[in-house]
């Protein structure tokens, strides 16, 4: 299952540093409570286990990419208040995730309290955004000054700051080199935020969650990618993961579907979607496939099929273990 990031060119005398995948979004601390059965309201009971881990979609994407040996960087607002602040930074370091462009602010990080049901692996998330540390375009511009040469791929997790992200994407699209790098992908996860129309037609690759798809009236991943594809730009790839049903994608109105990994004991689905996204991106990078690069269609479909299978396999494997470190 393991693979490395882009292979270095052995013939190149001055081997260039590998380009990074930059994931922009949020980092938080997740307090995970493992229970035998979901608690009754107003009950009092002992739980089976407890731990805390770094969370947030973009932050989790980086964790998985790093475990797949793909050089990556997290960018977001990192709070400096509270003990969690320094712990988050140290944890990024321990996973070898670069955080050099993060914006430091005197705020507290968001926190998630998770109830993980060990019987079926469901995760119930109680999320508190606290000081809502979201990235602003002016910070992004100041940090990069329109130079994205260090990145093969830039992935954006969308929160309520869609307008800000839209301007960031414009800068990256202006910069793109002749190989189509950096690739721009976005993840639309939360139905409660709006204005996604500002960005959905800009990205090379769009991930939509089942929660978002359900909010738009779709009953499964296949229907979601077919129904939403007209919102994407020409030639873009639209992907939707759907828990134990697997995932589907659409490119040029052609739909591919992959079932979820079977015959596993599901214990922890927290971050399954983030693992899926990282697995999909990682697979395309390892196959040296950059969306929007002109390639023969059958070759593209083969690479996408492989990536979809790989992502479902990796995410399913993650569901069969607690946390991420077992993915190593
Ligand atoms: P999210 O964490 O965003 O809710 P999903 O539930 O859609 O993510 O799951 C993402 C992927 O993880 C799925 O496409 C599937 O491959 C895998 N997955 C999730 N739940 C299960 C499960 N119960 N059994 C097997 N694979 C699963």
The ipTM of this complex is 0.99
> Does residue 156 have a cis bond before it (omega within 30 degrees)?
no
> Has residue 13 got a pLDDT over 60?
no
d(CA 226, ligand 1 centre) in Å:
20
> Has residue 56 got a pLDDT over 80?
yes
* Ligand 1 atom at minimal distance to the Cα of residue 211: 4
β-pair partners for 31 = 52, 113
CA max distance for the chain: 67
The pLDDT of 36-42, averaged and rounded, is 95
* Ligand 1 atom at minimal distance to the Cα of residue 209: 3
pLDDT at 232: 97
d(CA 45, ligand 1 centre) in Å:
29
139 vs 150: CA distance, rounded Å: 18
d(CA 311, ligand 1 centre) in Å:
10
Which of 208, 241, 258, 307 for mutating ligand 1's site (highest number of atoms within 8 Å of CB)? 241
pLDDT in tens, 281-299: 999 999 887 776 666 677 8
Structure tokens, 50 = 């407890």
* Ligand 1 atom at minimal distance to the Cα of residue 242: 7
The pLDDT of 116-130, averaged and rounded, is 93
Rounded to 5°, the CA angle 253-298-260 comes to: 65
Residue nearest atom 3 of ligand 1, based on CA coordinates: 273
Give me the percent of the chain exceeding a pLDDT of 90: 82
Residues with CB under 6 A from ligand 1: 209-210, 241-244, 246-247, 260-261, 266, 269, 272-273, 276, 312, 315-316, 319
pLDDT in tens, 253-286: 999 999 999 999 999 999 999 999 999 999 999 9
pLDDT band at 328 (very low <50, low <70, confident <90, very high): low
Contact 168, 148 (CB under 8 A): no
Record the pTM: 0.93
What values do phi and psi take at 70, rounded to 5? -100, 120
Q: Where are the alpha helices (DSSP H) in the chain?
A: 57-67, 83-94, 137-144, 162-175, 210-215, 221-228, 272-286, 297-319
> Has residue 14 got a pLDDT over 60?
no
Query: For residue 223, with 0-12 CB atoms within 10 Å meaning exposed, 13-18 middle and 19 or more buried, which class applies?
Result: middle
Which residues lie below 8 Å from residue 307, measured CB to CB, with a gap of 6+?
279, 280, 283, 284, 287, 289
> Has residue 243 got a pLDDT over 80?
yes
């Amino acid at each position: 299952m393991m693979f490395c990031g882009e292979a270095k060119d052995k013939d190149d005398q001055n081997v260039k540093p590998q380009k990074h995948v930059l994931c922009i979004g949020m980092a938080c601390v997740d307090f995970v409570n493992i229970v035998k059965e979901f608690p009754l309201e107003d009950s009092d009971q002992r739980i089976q286990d407890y731990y805390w881990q770094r969370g947030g979609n973009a932050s989790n994407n980086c964790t998985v990419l790093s475990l797949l040996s793909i050089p990556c960087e997290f960018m977001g607002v990192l709070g400096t208040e509270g003990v969690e602040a320094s712990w988050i930074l140290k944890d990024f370091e321990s996973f070898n995730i670069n955080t050099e462009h993060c914006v430091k602010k005197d705020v507290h990080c968001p926190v998630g309290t998770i109830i993980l049901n060990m019987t079926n692996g469901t995760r119930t998330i109680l999320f508190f955004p606290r000081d809502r540390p979201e990235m602003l375009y002016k910070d992004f511009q100041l940090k990069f000054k329109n130079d994205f040469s260090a990145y093969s791929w830039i992935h954006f997790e969308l929160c309520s700051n869609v307008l800000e992200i839209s301007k960031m994407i414009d800068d990256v699209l202006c910069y793109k080199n002749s190989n189509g790098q950096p690739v721009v992908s976005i993840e639309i996860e939360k139905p409660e935020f709006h204005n996604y129309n500002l960005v959905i037609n800009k990205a090379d690759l769009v991930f939509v969650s089942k929660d978002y798809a359900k909010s738009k009236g779709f009953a499964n991943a296949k229907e979601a990618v077919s129904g939403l594809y007209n919102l994407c730009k020409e030639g873009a790839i639209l992907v939707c993961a759907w828990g134990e049903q697997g995932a589907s994608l659409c490119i040029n109105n052609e739909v591919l579907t992959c079932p979820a990994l079977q015959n596993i004991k599901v214990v922890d689905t927290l971050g399954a979607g983030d693992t899926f996204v990282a697995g999909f991106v990682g697979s395309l990078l390892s196959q040296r496939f950059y969306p929007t690069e002109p390639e023969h269609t059958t070759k593209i479909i083969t690479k996408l099929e492989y990536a979809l299978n790989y992502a479902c396999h990796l995410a399913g494997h993650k569901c069969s273990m607690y946390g991420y470190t077992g993915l190593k």
